[in-house]
């Protein structure tokens, strides 16, 4: 075996070794690498009021209710199989709207409602010009910069 061959094998060995090591570690921790639970996963785990976790899913259309005169909002997060009602008081991100993905951080109350202290919106990686969207749907969606307010709220 020439020295160069030997060095080639060593380099490949390092790469394969590091790859296998990382793969084993990531598999072992794969549960912790999940950033959120879906409603189905959350319900199957029977989590109580003391278990703080993140819940992710779609905001069910037609379920967004804002309490008048406050920042409190109620909506249902669903994965199209199971759903969990959520209550949140605070400022929502721009991308929050019905039918879109959200991740909420908080805990389950005793009455089966998820009490959120943070709402994050997930981008669906779909892009479309605003004008085209309004043309296809026959409505003004939202003005840029005024998202989630007024008519656009609750969404199509």
Cα gap 151→114, rounded to integer Å: 26
CB 93 within 8 A of CB 56: no
Tell me the window of 26-34, 44-52, 68-76, 106-114 that interacts with another protein (CB under 8 A).
26-34
Q: Is 34 in the site for another protein (CB under 8 A)?
A: yes
C-beta closer to another protein: residue 18 or 49: 18
Least separation in angstroms between residue 77's CB and another protein is 14
Cβ within 8 Å of residue 8, ≥6 positions away = none
Cβ within 8 Å of residue 59, ≥6 positions away = 75, 76, 77, 96, 97, 98, 99, 100, 101, 102
C-beta closer to another protein: residue 49 or 90: 90
Q: Which of 18, 24, 52, 151 binds another protein (CB under 8 A)?
A: 18
Determine how β-strand 101-108 pairs with β-strand 72-78. Answer: unpaired
Q: Is 93 in the site for another protein (CB under 8 A)?
A: yes
Output the six-digit token pair for 125.
């990686």
Q: Is 47 in the site for another protein (CB under 8 A)?
A: no
**Interface with another protein: number of residues (CB under 8 A):** 49
String of contacts with another protein for each residue 102-131, x by CB under 8 A: -x--------------xxxxxxxxxxxxxx
CB 75 within 8 A of CB 46: no
Q: Please choose, from the candidates 106, 107, 116, the residue with its C-alpha nearest in 3D space to the C-alpha of residue 47.
A: 107
Q: Is 94 in the site for another protein (CB under 8 A)?
A: yes
Long-range contacts of 66-71 (CB under 8 A, 24+ apart): 66/153
Least separation in angstroms between residue 23's CB and another protein is 9
Give contact residues for another protein (rule: CB under 8 A): 4, 7-8, 10-11, 14-15, 18-19, 22, 26, 30, 33-36, 38, 56, 91-97, 103, 118-134, 141-145, 147
């Amino acid at each position: 075996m020439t020295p160069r061959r030997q060095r080639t094998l060593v380099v490949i060995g390092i790469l394969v070794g590091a790859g296998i090591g990382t793969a084993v570690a990531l598999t072992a921790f794969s549960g912790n690498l999940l950033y959120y639970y879906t409603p189905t996963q959350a319900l199957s785990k029977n989590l109580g009021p003391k278990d703080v976790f993140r819940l992710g899913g779609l905001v069910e259309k037609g379920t967004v209710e804002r309490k008048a005169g406050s920042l409190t909002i109620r909506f249902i997060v669903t994965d199209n199989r199971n759903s969990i009602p959520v209550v949140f008081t605070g400022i929502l991100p721009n991308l929050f709207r019905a039918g879109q993905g959200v991740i909420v951080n908080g805990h389950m109350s005793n009455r089966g409602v998820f009490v959120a202290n943070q709402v994050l919106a997930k981008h669906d990686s779909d892009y479309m010009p605003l004008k085209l969207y309004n043309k296809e749907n026959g409505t003004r969606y939202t003005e840029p910069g005024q998202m989630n307010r007024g008519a656009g709220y609750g969404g199509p």
